[in-house]
Structure formats: structure tokens, C-alpha cells
A and B are shown apart, each in its own frame.
Chain A
């Protein structure tokens, strides 16, 4: 049982380049989330998807786009990377049918460590 799988694990980009971070979960969860983690800032929500077919902005959405491709997969795209987006990105999932995602434990992937030069 893989849980939440993120790819890639590490990436270095140049300013202005684009890339997509991939996330997949095999727990049949309805809700999926993208966070960024910076030193001293905790985990800040970028975007989330409460269910297949919906996406919503979190606390820090600027510079990012997301796609909920199907129930399993939720991708995060940086269209034009900036040094301020250097961070560790975590994907998480939770929520079974009939339960709001804010009342369920979140399961995290191992993270993507992204550096933008």
C-alpha cells in the first residue's frame, strides 16, 4: 500500500522555467491538498480539491495552478518559476465519502524539494 506518492523528489529549476509536480494516492480519498513548507512558516496551503472535479485556492495560491485529473491524482504546476517558490512541497489526502476533509487525518507524501535559481 503506497499511500501518497509524489514525483519528483528533488528538482532544480532556473527562473522562468515551468514544471509540474505530480501526486497520486491509492486510498480512495476524496480530498487532496498541496502545501509548501518554508523554515519557520509551518505548512501553508496552496490549493486543495475537496472532491474530484473541484479545486479551491488556499492561503498562498499565487504563481501556481492545479489539476485534479481524477480521484487519484492531483498535480501542481508552476508556470514561470521564481526564486521565492524555492520550498519543500507536500501533497496530502484525506476524506472518505460523507466526511469533510477538515475532520479527517491527513496522509502526506514524502515531499518534493524544489530549488529555483
Chain B
């Protein structure tokens, strides 16, 4: 089945610094989804990317899908303490998705 590698596994940043997590696949993906899970919570859908080279923004969050549709990134500008949590990418197939291992973000006030 599909496998997606996500790096880094952990990231500590000072509040106000930027943060990026990367998702890589050895195969071409039909779509990529991003989720956020707050500590003690459940994953919450953020966005889906479908087109090659697609870039989408949500306030301070920027999502990119690679030209070859094999990688994706999530960039947060000027992190805030509310950004704390684990960010997952998920590679979409026909009937299910495959989740990456996640990047746990800690923001130091």
C-alpha cells in the first residue's frame, strides 16, 4: 500500500518563529489531506490538495503540493501557542487514506 514519510517527527519553536513539516511519497498521489490534532483531541481536517503544484492558504498556514504530486508541505508563519499539536498528512486513495506519522509541534511562549 501507499506509504508517506513525514518529517520532522518533533519540532520546538519559539513563539513567533516559522514552522514547516514535509510529507514525501515514493509514488504519485491522487490527493493529499492535512489534519491537526490538539493534545488529547482527535484529528481535525484542515485542507485537501489535488492539483500538481497547488498552493492554498489559510490565514498563517500555507499548504503546497509538489509538481510531481509526490510531496507536500505545511508552513506556519509566526507561530502562536494555539498552533500546538500534531500535524498529519494523509495520502488519498480511492476508498481510504494513508496517514503519515505526524509532526508534533511545541511552541515556547
The answer to whether the Cβ of B42 comes within 8 Å of any Cβ in the partner chain is: yes
The answer on a CB contact under 8 Å between B44 and A108 is yes
The answer on a CB contact under 8 Å between B95 and A105 is no
Which residues from A are CB-within-8-Å of B96? 31, 33, 45, 48, 50, 58, 101-102
The answer to whether the Cβ of A100 comes within 8 Å of any Cβ in the partner chain is: yes
Given A48-B95, A102-B94, do A90 and B101 touch, yes or no (CB 8 Å)? Answer: no
Which residues from B are CB-within-8-Å of A105? 33, 45, 48
The answer to whether the Cβ of B85 comes within 8 Å of any Cβ in the partner chain is: no
Q: What range describes how many residues of B lie at the interface?
A: 20 to 34
How many Å from the CB of A49 to the closest CB on chain B? 10
Minimal Cβ-Cβ distance residue in A for B44 = A108
Of the candidates B43, B45, B94, B95, the one whose C-beta lies within 8 Å of that of A90 is B43
Q: Would you mind naming 18 contact pairs between A and B with Cβ atoms under 8 Å apart?
A: A33-B96, A40-B9, A42-B6, A42-B99, A42-B101, A45-B98, A48-B95, A100-B93, A100-B94, A101-B95, A101-B96, A102-B92, A102-B95, A103-B31, A105-B33, A106-B43, A106-B45, A109-B42
What is B's interface to A at a CB cutoff of 8 Å?
1, 6, 9, 30-31, 33, 35, 41-45, 48, 88, 90, 92-102
